[in-house]
Chain A
Amino acid sequence: MNPEMILFFIFGAVSLIGAIAVISFRHPIYSALSLIVTFFAQAGLFVILGAHFVAAVQVIVYAGAIMVLFLFVIMLLNLGTLSEKGALTGKLKGVAIILGILLAAQGIYIAVNALNNTEVGSEAAQEKAAALTNNPIETYDIGELLFSKYLLPFEVTSLILLAALIGVIVLVKRENQTEN
């Protein structure tokens, strides 16, 4: 077993345990913290795949920014522990079950497909993995792709973000005027 495999199992286990903990904890703060652990472990998985930039962005954006806002809101609203009654009931439960089954089916389909198409443990696959780990994808390459091949999606994404930004400012402004 090579070091990458060992690290893969460590990070994989941590992210799974974290993900289960998110939905098992009764208290929202603990759930949020478990989610941070999961994000962190996923960043570790990205590093094993040689995608250092993606790993850094994962930590900066998800663990560093979004989850801080989550915690901020949870603390400001002072949410207590969830009771049994607060759990999903009635129609919501049905929707949740259907969506859950769909998601599980997707996951199984991808896993089976991947197992059939690539021989895990074959020499070719191992060489490919080793090449990825030893020659991490340079940030330079990502930048070049973003500004050439994927220019349109990149610009569209930034426009969406800009629209969201302006929307927030407009909402905040309106509230101010009514209060004054």
Chain B
Amino acid sequence: MDIDIVEVIVIPVIKILFIAHLLIIGVMAMIWSERRVSGWMQDRLGPNRVGPQGLLQPIADGIKFLFKEDLIPNHVDKPLYVLAPAMLLVPAMIIVAVVPFGSSMTIAGYEIPLQIADLNIGILYILAITSLGVYGVVIGAWASNNKYSLLGGLRSSAQMISYELTLGLAIIGVLMLSESLKLREIAEGQGANPWEWNFLIHFPAFLAFTTAVFAETNRLPFDLAEAEQELVAGYHTEYSSMKFAIFFMAEYMSMIVGSAVVVTLFLGGWHFFGLENIGGEGSVLAGLISFAIFFVKTGIFLFVFIWVRWTLPRFRYDQLMNFGWKFLLPVALSSIVVTGTLYIITKGNRLWIGVGNVVAAFIVVAIVAGMLAMDNNSKSAAQNTPAAAPLRGLDAVE
């Protein structure tokens, strides 16, 4: 077999090393910006002592975590306790393999697509690996042998299973119009201008998907798994030192990857007013610019993550379940029906599909809200307790 070693081994290895390090540096940047942006939003300074503007703070934190005593409590299930942080970190890290982070560039005759692997089933791969992320939380919680940890883990697994459905259903409209499961083709299918991007055509699905991403990453307002006021620190109560840090790295990594996926699916990928074609398609300059555009878009979306954290309060458990099952899921389902129907009727007219999706989502939300209001009225007439059915299962544990 004649294999071109440069194409088969050297280029992929360089890309993998580049992306893996970019992710880790991205985590450090997120730790810094989360604390500084939070400080800015709350009209205080945030950490600003280590290095210029406090930029070296994440390194100081990392050193502190590394040198702390690695404590393993006596009552834990040791193998699983040690394994759990890795089970959370690895899925968060390998999803990025299929995300296209730029167009392509030609160096020394090799056309290099800026993506580690363009799988046939790209989007399914993301869903598959996302669904594995829950194990780290659940196993960590169970192995800690602590009731607060277990409650956090149970909450989180229920939440992740519920919102995974929305995650999967919300993208089907996008897949129908781009007629491909490959992430590169989905990104390429969106035009250069913002009004040609998927988030306008599938606006309700975009909102549902984004919300589900927030839930999957366990971020506020969905961080019931680690609600400090109720559960100490939730599933990582018993973790200290570097193992605790790995839980946090995994959370930030899944935020970064989640943002990158949203940008690819809904926000046009590396497109921005044709800027990505400066220097000709496939040239090094165009490749670098497209990467920069993708990078900035992901960064802006990450800012939204922090922004939401300081805007919305945490949901209550039954509110979380009601919101996921009774609002997000019907909206995602309506986007499938409407996109499919209008695609046939209007022969793929993007404008009509976009309008139809929004109208359908409004109707669905109105119907659900009306039914819930009626349900609540009849219930409060019968007895004066709020609907707390989903909590019943947890009461048994407590």
Contacts and interface: CB of A to CB of B under 8 A. Distances in A.
Interface of A: 29-30, 33, 36, 43, 52-53, 55-57, 59-60, 63-65, 68-69, 71-72, 75-76, 136, 138-139, 176, 180
B154 A139 contact: no
Interface string B114-148: 00000111001101111110110011001000000
Which secondary structure characterizes the binding site on chain A?
helix
B119 A52 contact: yes
Interface of B: 77, 80, 119-121, 124-125, 127-132, 134-135, 138-139, 142, 150, 153-154, 157-158, 160-161, 164, 168, 181, 382-383, 389, 393, 396-397
Contact of A64 (B120, B131, B139, B382): B131
Contacts, number: 80
Contacts of B128: 43, 56, 59-60, 63-64
A56 B119 CA distance: 11
Contacts of B153: 75
Contact of B383 (A36, A138, A180): A180
A139 B120 contact: yes
B296 to A, nearest CB: 31
A138 B154 CA distance: 37
Given A33-B135, A52-B119, 13 more contacts: A36-B135, A52-B120, A55-B121, A57-B124, A59-B132, A60-B131, A65-B131, A65-B161, A68-B157, A71-B157, A75-B138, A75-B150, A136-B120
A75 B382 CA distance: 35
A56 B125 contact: yes
A176 B128 CA distance: 34
Contacts of A76: 154, 393, 396-397
Contact of B80 (A29, A68, A180): A29
Given A56-B124, A75-B150, A180 B157 contact: no
B116 to A, nearest CB: 16
